[in-house]
Structure 1
Amino acid sequence: MIFKQLIIAFSLVFLVGCKTNTVNLAKIEGKQIPVSEEIIPDPTLTDFIKPYHDHVVKTLDSVLAYAPASYNKSNGEFNTAIGNLMADIVYEQANPIFKSRTNHDIDFVILNHGGIRSQIPKGDITLKTAYEIMPFENSIVVASVKGKNVNEAMEYLSKAKRPHPVSQLKLIINSDFDVTEAKVKGKDIDENKTYYIATNDYLYNGGDHMTFFQPSDSLYVLNYKWRNALIDYFTKVDTINSVIDDRFIQLK
């Protein structure tokens, strides 16, 4: 009996002695290490990265097309040469895909002025140029909406006072920024008709306050990135040729 009690007592002492102490975090310290030329590169890492770096640079510098002039999104009041080019490219590249899947044509394209992130300088257009223009992963989508929504889109464009890129549209506004003429592919807008508008996923979801896509009857996701459309277009043409035109103008 005494032996049994000794065993129990010993076991309790052993368990208490093996108890893990709780460690609580009391303080975190850190310091800023500025990245500058004073930091000596690790040659082991530099040598390891170099083949990948050289391959990426070579790929990005590959020439796709030629620009006879510089294209800047600030050059134009209600439509710009680069904006017209971007919207026309989306229509040209996306419409065959959309039609093959739905047997419908895209009626028009609307993008946003802020989505163009760089200019196209005069000279060679490279793969890097496409990535600089569109660094985001935005994809082209097509929304089917009623003519009422299309009229709301025209009102949005007239009041935005910015050269948002459009294609297959003709919009004229007066000095008070009221719509005086709005046509889709040369025809007046029919509020009872369903229109197929190509845009990108960011704008479809209300980006840049473009709420006129909702509600939509259907949404068609083409699985085609805006940047890839640019690359495909630049690859198939020799020289780009886009100008400021009368697709969106103001009569004063």
Structure 2
Amino acid sequence: MAKLKHFGILNIKHYVIFITLLNLVSCKNTPEHLTELTGKQIAIDTNYTSVDSIQKFIQPYHDRVESILDSTLAYAPYVISKTDGKFNTTAGNLMADIVLKETNPIFNKRTGNTIDIVLLNHGGIRSIISKGNVTSRTAYEVMPFENSVVVVELKGSSLLKMVDYLKKSKRAHPVAGMQLILNKDNSVKSFTIDGKPLDTDKSYYIATSDYLVTGGDNMNFFKDALSKTETDYKIRNAMIDFFSKVDTLAPKVDLRYYQLQ
């Protein structure tokens, strides 16, 4: 009887193990595959009305955001535009100068280096700055994109590609920290950085946007970068910070980039 008893216990153990293994196999996840995707277009029109309870809930937040956006930060005594100059403009010069002034302390603190040049794109300026009060909303209108500043290290020889790009584009791309003078035949008369001639063997630091640094607007010379520093500083935020520090915006069309007549 003792042998039969032990035999029965062994059979029960084997049965339990078998059932457990069977359950594990049956519970194994089967990969799922998307076989069909359907959808429909829902028009948002006058048939949809606001829900009073939701409207009342968000109204205080809406009012607070609106008050912040419309608080006066500075004053523009005239219209600031990206079309008031051929090779440089008041809006372009303002944006490039802002990026240089506001980003340089951040870059210097992180790397010990300083920004030599700023280069942005003409198309990135999306609005004029009207005469009158300048607010945070102004910055959102001029720069509605979430672009942030990236500082790229380039050899002087690669900057010659940048000069060639500017010369051929014939657009007032915003620049700062440099001067480019073209002859009547569109050849380069001079190119200086901080008042000094270009050294093709030296490395320079160019602040630009995260869009351009990847070749946006065909600025492929940025692919020659020796190093890149992400500042995580949005261009729009740099504008708001600058507006908060000054009383009056007075950018001018100047001689940073022009052509002899």
SS at match of 2:149: strand
Unaligned runs of 5+ in 2: 1-34
Residue identity opposite 1:230 in structure 2 = M
Partner amino acid, structure 1, of 2:108: K
Q: Deviations over 1:115-142 (max 9, x none)?
A: 1111111111111111111111111111
2:213 matched to 1:204?
yes
Matches within 5 A, 1:1-252: 30=40, 33-36=43-46, 39-252=48-261
Distance 2:208 2:37 in 1: 50
Secondary structure, in 3 states, of the residue corresponding to 1:244?
coil
SS in 2 for 1:224: strand
Separation in structure 2 between the aligned mates of residue 140 and residue 109 of structure 1, nearest angstrom? 10
2:30 maps to what in 1?
none
Letter paired with 2:117 = F
Cα deviation, 1:157-213, whole Å, max 9, x if unaligned, reads 111010000001111112332222111111111111101111111111101111111
Q: How many residues align?
A: 227
By how many angstroms is 1:32 displaced? 5.0
Give structure 1 stretches of 5+ with no counterpart: 1-24
CA RMSD across the alignment: 1.9
Aligned twin of 2:24:
none
Any idea what SS the aligned residue of 2:211 has?
Answer: helix
Distance (Å, rounded) in 1 between the aligned partners of 2:111 and 2:52: 55
Identity %: 49
Q: 1:17 is matched with which residue?
A: none
Instruction: Write out per-residue CA displacement over residues 54-98 of structure 1, whole angstroms, 9 at most, x where no aligned residue.
Output: 111111111111111111111111100110010001111111121
SS of the residue aligned with 1:141? Answer: strand
After TM superposition, the structure 1 stretch with the greater mean CA deviation from structure 2, 143-152 or 95-104, is 95-104
TM-score, normalising length: structure 1: 0.84
Bigger Cα displacement from structure 2, 238-247 vs 46-55: 46-55
Q: CA deviation at 1:40?
A: 3.9
Instruction: Mark the CA change 1:44 to 1:163 in structure 2 (over 3 Å): closer, same or farther.
Output: same
Query: Is 47-56 or 123-132 further displaced after alignment?
Result: 47-56
Decide whether aligned partners of structure 1 residues 27 and 214 sit closer, same or farther in structure 2, where only a CA change above 3 A counts. closer
